[in-house]
Structure 1
Amino acid sequence: MSSTQNQPAITAMTIGGTDRLAADGATIDTLNPATGKVIGRFPAATKADVDSAVDAAATAFEEWRRFSPQRRQQALNAFADIIDQHQDELMHLDVAENGTPVREMRRDAQKASRQLRYFAWLSLEAKGHTVPTDWDRVNFSLRQPWGVVGKIIPFNHPLMFAAAKIAAPLAAGNAVVLKPSEFTSLSALRLGELSRGILPDGVLNVITGYGATTGDSLVRHPDVRRLAFIGSATTGRAIQRAAAEANVKNITLELGGKNPLVVFGDADIDKAVAAAQRGMNFTWQGQSCGSTSRLLVQEEVYEEFVNRLGASLDAMKQGDPADEGTDTGAIVNEPQFAKVKMYIEIGKQEGRLIAGGTVSGDEDSGGGMFVRPTLFADIDPGARLAQEEIFGPVLAATSFRDYDDALRKANDSQYGLTASVFTSDLRTAMRFARDVEAGYVWVNEVSRHVEGTAFGGYKDSGVGREEDIDELLSYTQAKNVHIVCED
């Protein structure tokens, strides 16, 4: 919380279509992780502010739910148009606040509007069906919106998640209260401003603040029956507990991942090395739940593979995220920076350092928080580096003997979000896709999300699916209607 006078102006929340500061005036300073400098301030919302946002959403819902799907479709497409018009502004907010290079943030801005358009197009698919019954009876189902939906998003894709994750609930006729991460709120707040005059007041409310206060108040609010959260498994379990203490809620959770990338000896090694680098999302500093952070390589090509990958990582350009030539930027915040540094020290005890492992601190980076893309080899499958989600640019590699050994090691995790396999044998590929415990599987590919396909995890990686029609339908409730038509 800031009390100095030489601070940036406060960027207000959007509640009921109007600017709102926190009820007690509290604010949060946001930093540029590449420089350590304060670049903005926004409200630290109280429980009273959350109550106001939910009340505004509940009021707006009564109007929005009565819009025809075509009218909602038009509004969401118009909102997507506005995002496209402000793409440069929005992506540079994310670059400055998140630390990820501008090339990636540009792609995020483009995905943000595409997801709004996709769910706008799907809005007519939130439909029921009829069931044959007696001659003088009619039985049919309806799909109706929940009402007020709470959305809590993380720091790694601020704009993309802010836009993409409100798309399905809005298309289905719900009103939304959106809470971005307290580390990256500026683009979401700007999104709230841009929605005014396009969406009815109160249909989208953007509140900012700390998870323990603002987030918890939203999770526990009795009028929020539908929730969605993206973040760590630990926080996801806490949200489940808190929500259950309030009332019965429907919750979608996209949680952590410790995702395997399995390379068999018959794979195209050139393509697999490039994919191992790309799949780890080093261009996001490894800060992605879908990162293939466990590399499993068959013994006969293991040494060649890790050495070639290490050389490729060493060639990545680290620097100013606003520079178009930068490959990898800054860690988003001090707690995450400290966590990554801790795991690098653990890695030095558990394995063999192949690439990276160096950290830039305040003295040599102008206050920026930079970690080189890092690869450790010979990591035991039960080691901390292989079991715990780091959410940073640290990749753990190990070898395997045969298919059974690869599968056992791939599934040896509490998580099950994504998995990838590289092989030239179709039978091996199909067996692995069937046997691996993950919700999204790539064969000879990594990281690509195909529009209209369901994304979500097994085990502790979450509950529910997003990015397809299942997500749209999850923001509706089914109702059955039985009518007797007497002569």
Structure 2
Amino acid sequence: MRARDIPAGMLPERRGLYYGGAWHPPRGGWAETINPAYDEAIATAPVADASDVDAAVRAAHAAFPAWAATPPLKRAGALRQAAETLRAHASELACLDALNNGNPISALALDAGFAADCLDYFAGLASEAKGETLPMGDGNLNYTVREPMGVIARIVAYNHPLMFAAARLAAPLAAGNTVVIKAPDQAPLSTLRLAELVGGLFPPGVVNFLCGQRECGEALTRHPLVRKITLIGGVPTGQAVMKVAAEDLKPVLLELGGKNALVAYPDADRDKLVDGIIGGMNFAWSGQSCGSTSRVFLHESLHDEILERVARLLPRRHRPGIPTDPETTMGSLVSRAQLQKVRGLVDAALSEGARLVCGGKQPDDSCLRDGFFFEPTLFADVQPHMRLAREEVFGPVVAFFKWRDEDTLFETVNGVPFGLTGSIWTRDVNTAHRAARRMQTGYVWINNSSQHFLGAPFGGVKQSGIGREECLAELLEFTYTKNINLKLA
């Protein structure tokens, strides 16, 4: 959909910053936001500077005492209202994200529903931030309580703008905190629409939404009234956030990059394995997913057959197309910078001796010539020292490896600085458990890939992040333990 074809009422009506229960013009000015399928501007978005951040954080800080004192079930009720609102507007929110971040509307259709499920899930946990009693002998009553922390800043990523912004409200709000969400600067429009839809469901200052660039993120991280900073993003950004947060000993929750491995044993179900390799790479999002299984390790007994089958099937299943077309199964990359990064890593793989099996370039379709599209790409004969084997592409590029010895296999699988997800394919339960224990990641699928389960802790190890989300542990991330001792008369 070109900018000239966007129907009236599709874009957010309000384009300011939302904090303290009201809309405010940005002191940092305005910036164009684009449709990456055509590289054309579709709207202007506000740019928050440090003074805007200060105003938003202070509004959240002022609202905190009353919200923390609100009974948990009443907080839960507001979260459930927000979930119902998201479900009612799921189609328009998916279309807005397809316009602004390049993912296909067919895939984004599920995002509002997952975010609503998260809001409902944490609404159900609002009373579960519990303490315990500790035996101290006669004359003492010793117990703990969990207290909300205060203002929580959550910086979300561009690959699922609406889903991340809405879902990441849930846990801190359920625990009694107030929240400032920073929208991704590449795709802020759905966050603005989210503010229009759910901002009024909460008391003024409880939920706050900012758009901005680097200054906005740095100001949020540095602000003394922000009690915890969270990020979904790349490793360099996570390192920068952690360095700044360390100045105030401010805790962080980080979901960062991945260079995730899919390992197939000789006895794997070959039909399901082919589907798992394609599905695990998240080609629908052009590979722009931190959990994508972008390294595929096939035992030598099945390597050639599976590689050939994936290479034959992939271009039929995922072909780049206009994101707002319901028939499109693979969209565009989010920006020119991301397209250049993908090109650079493809060129590096070729120069280092990897074998290009399919893809490797921008599509020839004249309808896609102006956008940031890239074909689904497979490389074989990849070696552990190559950049493609070690660096996160965050694009539609998957690397195939052939393995024979299990010890050598896991040296390579674990020999990268990441540890987010992994996928294991075998029919043998003993092999499955052994391999899962050897894989140094926070999340493992067996005979599955890419799927998330609410209630199951999601997060990484090493440079893939700190903390866990989508479970009770995420709720507790936004509390601290207070010990109370009562001396009995």
TM-score (norm 2): 0.95
Secondary structure class of the residue paired with 2:360: coil
Secondary structure class of the residue paired with 1:261: strand
Find the aligned partners of 2:379 and 2:435 in 1 and give their Cα distance: 25
| Match of residue 108 from structure 1 | 111
Deviation by residue 1:85-115 (Cα, 9 ceiling, x = unmatched): 1111211111100111112111111101000
| Match of residue 358 from structure 1 | 361
Mapping for residues 367-382 of structure 1, pairs under 5 Å? 367-382=370-385
Deviation by residue 1:129-169 (Cα, 9 ceiling, x = unmatched): 11122233211111010000010011001011001111100
Find the aligned partners of 2:178 and 2:139 in 1 and give their Cα distance: 38
Find the aligned partners of 2:364 and 2:35 in 1 and give their Cα distance: 14
| Match of residue 223 from structure 1 | 225
Mapping for residues 27-176 of structure 1, pairs under 5 Å? 27-176=30-179
| Match of residue 3 from structure 1 | none
| Match of residue 303 from structure 2 | 302
| Match of residue 347 from structure 2 | 345
Find the aligned partners of 1:468 and 1:310 in 2 and give their Cα distance: 37
Amino acid at match of 1:326: T
| Match of residue 5 from structure 2 | none
Mapping for residues 264-275 of structure 1, pairs under 5 Å? 264-275=265-276
Q: Is residue 343–residue 390 contact of structure 1 (8 Å, CA) maintained in 2?
A: yes
Mapping for residues 236-315 of structure 1, pairs under 5 Å? 236-245=238-247, 247-315=248-316
Find the aligned partners of 2:459 and 2:319 in 1 and give their Cα distance: 32
| Residue among 21, 28, 33 paired with 2:25 | 21
Find the aligned partners of 1:318 and 1:165 in 2 and give their Cα distance: 30
Q: Is residue 233–residue 460 contact of structure 1 (8 Å, CA) maintained in 2?
A: yes
Name whichever of 82-91 and 467-476 sits farther off. Answer: 82-91
| Match of residue 233 from structure 1 | 235
Deviation by residue 1:230-274 (Cα, 9 ceiling, x = unmatched): 1111111111111122x1111011111000001111111111111
| Match of residue 4 from structure 1 | none
Deviation by residue 1:39-96 (Cα, 9 ceiling, x = unmatched): 1211111100000000000011111111000000001001111111111121111110
TM-score (norm 1): 0.96
Secondary structure class of the residue paired with 1:19: strand
Amino acid at match of 1:19: W
Q: Is residue 80–residue 114 contact of structure 1 (8 Å, CA) maintained in 2?
A: yes
Q: Which runs of 5+ in 1 are unaligned?
A: 1-6
Percent of counterpart pairs with the same letter?
A: 43
Amino acid at match of 2:324: A
The offset of 1:472, in angstroms, is 0.2
Find the aligned partners of 2:197 and 2:12 in 1 and give their Cα distance: 21
Q: Which consecutive aligned stretches of 4+ in structure 1 deviate over 6 angstroms post-superposition? A: 7-10
| RMSD (Å) for aligned C-alpha atoms | 1.5
Amino acid at match of 1:36: D
Find the aligned partners of 1:406 and 1:21 in 2 and give their Cα distance: 55
Amino acid at match of 2:208: N
The offset of 1:180, in angstroms, is 1.3
2:451 paired with 1:448:
yes
